Amino acid sequence: MYMLFLMSMIIFLISFMVMILTNLLSNKNIEDREKSSPFECGFDPISSSRLPFSLRFFLIAVIFLIFDVEIALILPMTIIPFNSSITFWSITSITFLSILTIGLYHEWMQGSLEWAT
């Protein structure tokens, strides 16, 4: 028990020291107008280089990535019943699919899936 506590503290201290070190090394002290402006062949920019970004597009992209990862988790479920008990597999599959269905229902009710509005 003592060894586990000691190793946990060592890992915590190393990670804390790395976080402090990266925070100290990553600070920019010099704010230069030329370096912070976008590069356009040496000329001053005509307009803002930051275009407005559609938050709806970002939300749809995040939902797509989430469901893409979920598909990657569902695909091995077809092979697992041959290697484990059928009751454990069915309980796990039903739980996982019900969580996905509840999440989809919640996104649908929040209006996250409606693109045209």
Summarised one tens digit per residue, pLDDT across range 14-33 is: 999 999 998 888 876 666 66
Residue 61 inside a domain? The answer is: yes
CA distance 49 to 37: 9
Q: Does 70 lie in the same domain as 24? A: no
Helices 86-110 & 55-74, crossing angle to 10 degrees?
170
Q: Does 16 lie in the same domain as 61? A: no
Domain span at residue 89?
55-110
Residue 15 inside a domain? The answer is: yes
Read off the amino acid at residue 60: I
Both ends of the chain: CA-CA distance in Å? 58
What the block records as the tokens of 104 is 């989809």
Quote the number of domains for the chain.
Answer: 2
Q: What does pTM read for this prediction?
A: 0.49
What the block records as the tokens of 30 is 């010099």
Q: Does 104 lie in the same domain as 61? A: yes
φ, ψ at 27 (rounded to 5°): -70, 135
Residue 116 inside a domain? The answer is: no
Residues of the chain scoring pLDDT < 70: 28-51, 116-117
Residue 100 inside a domain? The answer is: yes
Residue 19 inside a domain? The answer is: yes
Q: Does 102 lie in the same domain as 62? A: yes
CA distance 100 to 70: 8
H-only helix segments in the chain: 2-25, 33-36, 55-74, 86-110
Residue 40 inside a domain? The answer is: no
